[in-house]
Chain A
Amino acid sequence: MAFRRTPSTDSRLVQIAGWPTLVLVTVLLWLLASSILPKLVPTPQRVLAYLLSTPPMLVAESFARTLYNSILGFGIALGLSVASVFLSYLNRFLECFVASLNTFVQSVSVLVWTLVLIMIFGVLSPIPPVLVTTAATYPVLLSTVLGASKALDKRFRELSTVLGASKVQEFATIILPGSVPHIASASRAAIGVALRISVVAEAFGGGGGVGYQLMYNYDLGIPEGVFAWALLLVLLMILLDRAILKPMEDWTKRWLL
């Protein structure tokens, strides 16, 4: 029996069909929910009308604030993670200390950080959303960077010993670049966490941002406002992930393929 091999044509179609299907299912569920609970869940049309009536500057300012809080908080967490891993790499005592620190930060709730930081800096301060984001993303990044540095091929470390590298040189030339693909993957997840968490911190404070707008609309009893800002936030996260984070992750993984 003869077989003819032809290239698969359905995989691309399946990939393209995923997003429209998700949108369709979401809209259908939304319509169903708004027909069952009309006072609590606004229809998509009402949310769209609210969005169109919202001043574009307010949307831009709120997004700029949320992105600033998220990216700055994430950046601080990334810097702290790399510094922590470097410390843990210097000697056995610091390694044990960082391992303990990792366990500790993993076990503290974001709500605790939010309340404590708002108590310290005040409701109107722009600092709590940034630091809460740092506190939420630092454990994710620290675990990943620690794991990646430990999982790095032992032969690379031996190579640096044979070539006479100092600890700092080994870290900068071998450990850190070798961990970049893992850091990129973790960053993708961490920035998602950062955006979600900074919104929570903004909701508690009064410094502006998407979280503040969500809470403001909730307090005033404007459900279409809550839905509109939530929708904008979801769209921003998807755009950020598909346009920047995923390509960045793929790019860093290229050298390992």
Chain B
Amino acid sequence: MIRVNGVTKRFGEEPVLDGIGLVVNKEEVVGIVGPNGCGKTTLLRIVAGVERPDSGTVEVGGRLGLVPQDDVLLPWATLASNIGLGLKFRGVRGEELKRRVLEVARLLGIEEHLHKYPRQVSGGTARKASIARALVLGPDVLLLDEPYTGLDAFSISSLQATLKRLNRERGITMLVVSHQLDELTSIADRIYVLSHKPSRVKAVIDLKSVSEGERLNAIYNALVSERWGR
């Protein structure tokens, strides 16, 4: 579903990604973790097509939806308008637009906030609106950049349940960048651990093969060995 082969990226003189390769199979949830500034978001943006790699290839099978780090909701538009933005760009109008926006809002439990502006809703609702904006286009693959950042425990748990449901019920493949290891291990099938800049894949942890109690340890060990060179 997503195949990244030998992707490199430099910003000016600074190398950020150095031959990254990863695979996300259909209906899989794959997490990416790594030190701050190692290029996780850059990798996600390359997969989304917002950035171009300097070398290497990215293959994506199916339609992509991106949930950016800071939601990026238009502050002058209501949540309904924000969610329906992509549909409007595709020429969907009127009742059809309303119906599809309402449908996805109901799925995420934010239908009572549709008339509100982004500044009038909580961080959790804004994040769900951002997910709804991606979902309304019927993506096969969802790219999520730090979906839990800035959310309280209740919102995280609600978002977590939503993502699990989307994956199980709709079969949506997900690639998730996050620092929240607890949350990531509870939804991901595999975790890619990236090294410091210039970033390489340091370890790939298949969470299905690790017992639930050992999952966090496995990721910590990979991250610590990266940090201290062990």
Please determine whether A163 and B76 come into contact, CB atoms closer than 8 angstroms. Answer: no
Q: Does A174 contact B (CB under 8 A)?
A: yes
A residues near B45, Cβ cutoff 8 Å: 158
In Å, the complex CA distance between A173 and B48 comes to: 21
Known contacts A155-B68, A155-B70; A164/B90 CB under 8 A: yes
Contact with B along A167-180 (1 / 0, CB 8 A): 00100011001101
Q: Does A143 contact B (CB under 8 A)?
A: no
Known contacts A155-B72, A156-B72, A180-B76; A165/B66 CB under 8 A: no
B residues near A163, Cβ cutoff 8 Å: 85-86, 89, 133, 137
B residues near A153, Cβ cutoff 8 Å: 72
Interface residues on B, range: 20 to 34
Q: Does B10 contact A (CB under 8 A)?
A: no
**Separation in Å of the A163 CB from the closest CB of chain B?**
4
Nearest residue (CB) in A for B70 is A155
In Å, the complex CA distance between A180 and B76 comes to: 10
Please determine whether A257 and B90 come into contact, CB atoms closer than 8 angstroms. Answer: no
**Separation in Å of the B28 CB from the closest CB of chain A?**
22
In Å, the complex CA distance between A155 and B133 comes to: 15
Q: Does A11 contact B (CB under 8 A)?
A: no
Nearest residue (CB) in A for B117 is A255
Known contacts A173-B85, A255-B119, A257-B119; A162/B49 CB under 8 A: yes
**Separation in Å of the B77 CB from the closest CB of chain A?**
8
Q: Does B74 contact A (CB under 8 A)?
A: yes
B residues near A255, Cβ cutoff 8 Å: 75-76, 117, 119
Known contacts A162-B48, A257-B119; A156/B74 CB under 8 A: yes
Nearest residue (CB) in A for B118 is A255
Q: Is the interface of B mostly helix, strand, loop or mixed?
A: loop
Interface residues on A, range: 20 to 34
Nearest residue (CB) in A for B50 is A158
B residues near A158, Cβ cutoff 8 Å: 45, 50, 68, 72
Q: Does A256 contact B (CB under 8 A)?
A: yes
Q: Does B106 contact A (CB under 8 A)?
A: no
Q: Does B115 contact A (CB under 8 A)?
A: no
Contact for B50 among A162, A164, A165, A166, CB less than 8 A: A162
Known contacts A155-B68, A162-B49; A174/B74 CB under 8 A: yes
**Separation in Å of the B225 CB from the closest CB of chain A?**
34
Q: Does A100 contact B (CB under 8 A)?
A: no
Q: Does A160 contact B (CB under 8 A)?
A: yes
In Å, the complex CA distance between A169 and B89 comes to: 7
Contact for A173 among B50, B64, B68, B88, CB less than 8 A: B88
Q: Does A161 contact B (CB under 8 A)?
A: yes
Nearest residue (CB) in B for A161 is B50
**Separation in Å of the A173 CB from the closest CB of chain B?**
7
**Separation in Å of the B109 CB from the closest CB of chain A?**
23
In Å, the complex CA distance between A225 and B72 comes to: 57
**Separation in Å of the A215 CB from the closest CB of chain B?**
44
Contact for B89 among A160, A177, A180, A257, CB less than 8 A: A160
Other than the given A160-B85, A180-B76, 14 more pairs (CB < 8 A) read A153-B72, A155-B72, A156-B74, A158-B68, A160-B89, A161-B50, A162-B48, A163-B85, A163-B89, A166-B89, A169-B89, A173-B85, A177-B77, A257-B119
Interface CB pairs A-B, < 8 A, 13: A153-B72, A155-B68, A155-B70, A158-B50, A160-B85, A161-B50, A162-B64, A164-B89, A164-B90, A174-B74, A177-B74, A256-B75, A256-B76
